[in-house]
Amino acid sequence: MNNTDLLTIAGKEYKSRLLLGTGKYKNLKETGQAIAAGGAEIVTVAIRRTNIGQNADEPNLLDVISPDRYTLLPNTAGCYTAEDAVRTCRLARELLDGHKLVKLEVLGDAQTLYPDMPATLEAADILIKDGFEVMVYTTDDPILAKRLEDMGCVAVMPLAAPIGSGLGIQNRYNILTIVENASVPIIVDAGVGTASDAAIAMELGCDGVLMNTAVAEARNPVLMASAMKKGIEAGREAFLAGRMPRRRFASASSPIEGVI
Amino acid sequence: MQILLNGEHHSISARTTVTQLIEDLKLTERRLAVELNGEILPRSKYAHSVLVENDNLEIVNAIGGGQSRKYI
């Protein structure tokens, strides 16, 4: 892979275009192994109430995923109001010593886990004014995606299918329109099920893919993380190479002249 | 004396500071963030913040998480 083809988010450069969630793994060891196999440099974490009085010596996620080595992306997963999302980001900033990069998601309902876009816009506005660098989970509406970019979000992250569904890229023309209009990184966040899905997202020109369930719920999560890394690299190279045009009929590869 | 700790009633002795409470909970080694009555309490203020009756304290940490799922 070309070493100069870097992903830049909020002024920081990354070699890897795979962003990994750290939920749903069997244990912290598997989490660490999957991140290593996927080569992810940005990993999402959730902010949750500390268990009081039980498992006081349970292993800490930040022991496995060192903030010195990885870019931690605290997310607001599980928040259903702008207020809760903003509160979660502020707690994350305190927890991580002034860390500004966050993933904003404000959910609309538990069945679809679709984002509540009015609440997302409201929270993004508050967070940006408060100095956060916001990577935002959004529907695949090109107008909203552009609006979020114009507000100052540092990355726009449309869904490709519902969170955790593994249905693959169901909206490739919307994703393409969002990519074509954008001047900040567009990262598919949600919907990928297997490595070819990730490759399709990258072939559309996305700058990266964020996933969790597709890796964590694979039969072999570590192997799937490795497959995702390759799928993303292959898709990126294919995008940069520029695919051939689609034709309805055949086009011979061998010269016709000189046939005996 | 009663406070609300992560949404549940919790008994502490009078004049307990946040530093003291974190020690009592055996959480000293952990990377935490604390919210006191809806406001973030910076780490530098733990030692001087004396809890009073009915204070609402939230103590959080980072856990595995990516896309949504219920954790609490």
A195: three-class secondary structure by DSSP: helix
Measured between beta carbons, the chain B residues lying within 8 angstroms of A190 are 67
Cross-strand bridge partners of residue A8? A13
- State what percent of residues in chain B have pLDDT above 70: 90
CB neighbours of A119 closer than 8 A, spacing ≥ 6?
A80, A81, A82, A85, A106, A108
Region A60-74: mean pLDDT is: 89
Catalytic (active site) residue A103? yes
Q: A57 or B24: whose pLDDT is higher?
A: B24
Average pLDDT, chain B: 88
Handedness of CA A103, A108, A111, A114 (dihedral sign): negative
Half-sphere exposure of A221 (CA within 13 A, CB side): 24
> Are B51 and B18 a contacting pair, CB within 8 Å?
yes
- Label residue A63 by pLDDT band (50, 70, 90): confident
The pLDDT tens digits for B32-63 are 999 999 999 999 999 999 999 999 999 998 88
Measured between beta carbons, the chain B residues lying within 8 angstroms of A77 are 65-69
Judge: A75–B59 Cβ closer than 8 Å, yes or no: no
The pLDDT tens digits for A116-126 are 999 999 999 99
Residues A236 and A222: their CA atoms lie apart, in Å, by: 21
Q: What is the pTM (predicted TM-score) of this model?
A: 0.91
Interface ipTM: 0.86
pLDDT for B29 equals 79
The pLDDT tens digits for A195-212 are 999 999 999 999 999 999
Helix (H), strand (E) at residue A95: helix A82-95
Nearest CA in chain A to B68: A77
The pLDDT tens digits for A228-243 are 999 999 999 999 999 9
Nearest CA in chain A to B23: A56
Residues A150 and A233: their CA atoms lie apart, in Å, by: 29
Measured between CB atoms, does A176 come within 8 Å of chain B?
A: no
Residues B25 and A54: their CA atoms lie apart, in Å, by: 10
Q: What are phi and psi for residue A164, nearest 5 degrees?
A: 75, 5
Q: Which of A15, A29, A103, A229 is catalytic?
A: A103
Q: Which residue in A155, A229, A228, A240 sits closest to A204, CA to CA?
A: A240
Judge: A46–B71 Cβ closer than 8 Å, yes or no: yes
Residue B13 Cα, gap to closest chain A Cα (Å): 17
Residue B66 has pLDDT above 70, yes or no: no
